[in-house]
Amino acid sequence: MRRIWVLTIAACVLGGLAAIGQNLIAGQDAGQAPPAPQQAQPRNRVDRELQTMTQNLNLTDDQQAKIRPLLQDQAKQLRELRADSTIPEADARAKAREIRQSTRKQIVQILTPEQREKFKEVRQERRSGQQAPPPQPTQPPPSQ
């Protein structure tokens, strides 16, 4: 009987410690609000790049559908290039540059004139080492 009582107490203590640990990890102790749910992060480079372009350039669904295969093809070509150990490093870099330029030219053809200008600005900011500003919301928040 005493053994059951000890096991019950031990289970309660462990359960309480687990609950406290979860609250500490989530930052909910001391009355803090629960953390905001994070936006799902894309799992691969193509999705991340397309998401960034969509946010920066406000791409339409149609534009995204046209750009995604271009980015996928670019990623495939770059993967194959990296896997080919017979190509000298300098040649591989030059070929990678060509692949990226070709993809960029194709993407620019899909963009509107305003998006092309923004695309150019974002590229220049990246090349100069600056972080692009966060995208501005395209629609005002609903009034309450």
User: If you write DSSP's letter for every residue of 41-84 in order, what string do you get?
Assistant: PPSSHHHHHHHHHHHHHT--HHHHHHHHHHHHHHHHHHHHHHH-
How many structural domains does the chain have?
1
Res. 5: pLDDT tops 60:
yes
pTM, entire model: 0.59
φ and ψ at residue 128, rounded to 5 degrees:
-85, 0
Question: Is 134 inside a domain boundary?
Answer: no
Looking at the domain assignment, is residue 29 inside a domain?
no
From 32, 101, 97, 40, select the one nearest 70 (Cα to Cα): 101
Residue 50 lies in a domain: yes
Q: Is residue 123 in some structural domain?
A: yes
Overall average pLDDT of the 77-101 stretch: 94
Please report whether residue 30 resides in a domain: no
Residues, the chain, total?
Answer: 144
- Distances, alpha carbon 37 to alpha carbons 34, 40, 66, 69, 140, in Å: 9, 9, 30, 30, 21
- Per-residue pLDDT, averaged over 108-136, amounts to 82
Range of 64's domain?
A: 45-127
Which has more confidence, 127 or 81?
81
19 occurs within a structural domain: no
Judge whether 97 lies within some domain. yes
CATH of the domain at 96: 1.20.120
Check if the beta carbon of residue 77 is closer than 8 Å to that of residue 99. yes
Higher pLDDT, 83 or 4: 83
Residue 103 included in any domain:
yes
Query: What pLDDT sits at residue 28?
Result: 47
- Can you tell me the distance from the alpha carbon of 126 to that of 133, in angstroms, rounded to the nearest whole number? 11
Q: Please measure the distance between the N-terminal and C-terminal CA atoms of the chain and give it in whole angstroms.
A: 61
- Asked if the model's pLDDT at residue 128 lies above 90, the reply is no
